[in-house]
Amino acid sequence: MRFELVTVPVSDIDRAKRFYVDQVGFSVERDVRVDEAHRFVELLPPGSSCSVALTAGYVHSAPGSLEGVQLNVDDGDEVHANLRGRGVEVSTIQDYPWGRFCFFSDPDNNGWSIHGPLPD
């Protein structure tokens, strides 16, 4: 078994796609409208083999109900600066004994965390 896809519940696929691609830096793997009621947009975070899906007509979770998704990075400061530079409202970096974290939400308020290692 491999974990390869996380569905992100959003209210407006086009708005969410612009946010994740233009601001967060994900790439578009596919954008398919199956019929009037079904659309599947697959986005890939840089360096990841697990993609995210923005869908219409497939999953019935409330927009904004996703919490706790974590993106692991090699350099939290670099990613934090990159996100801020792209206009993402990201929290300050917080140090914990298990790593450094910052947090952001998409336009529907789905919550994400960025996890990087503590400095040596």
Give phi and psi for 92, each to the nearest 5: -65, 160
pLDDT at residue number 58:
86
Q: Tell me the pairing of strands 5-7 and 51-56.
A: parallel
* pTM exceeds 0.85 for this model: yes
Contact call for residues 108 and 9 (beta carbons, < 8 A): yes
Count other C-beta atoms under 10 Å from residue 114's C-beta: 21
Q: Is 86 in contact with 23 (CB distance < 8 Å)?
A: yes
Domain that holds residue 21: 5-116
18-60 pLDDT, tens per residue?
999 999 999 999 999 989 888 999 999 999 999 999 988 888 8
> Which of the pair, 77 or 120, is modelled with greater confidence?
77
Which residue from 52, 46, 107, 104 is spatially nearest to 75, judged by alpha carbons? 46
> Which amino acid, 59?
V
How big is the chain, counted in residues?
Answer: 120
> What residue type is assigned to position 41 of the chain?
V
Q: What is the mean pLDDT of residues 66-71?
A: 94
> What are the tens digits of pLDDT across the range 74-101?
999 999 999 999 999 999 999 999 999 9
> Which domain CATH number covers 99?
3.10.180.10
Q: Which pLDDT value is given to residue 60?
A: 86
What total of structural domains would you count in the chain?
Answer: 1
Of the candidates 68, 69, 73, which has an alpha carbon nearest to the alpha carbon of residue 118? 73
User: What is the reported pLDDT for 26?
Assistant: 98
Q: Report CA 4 to chain centroid distance, whole Å.
A: 14
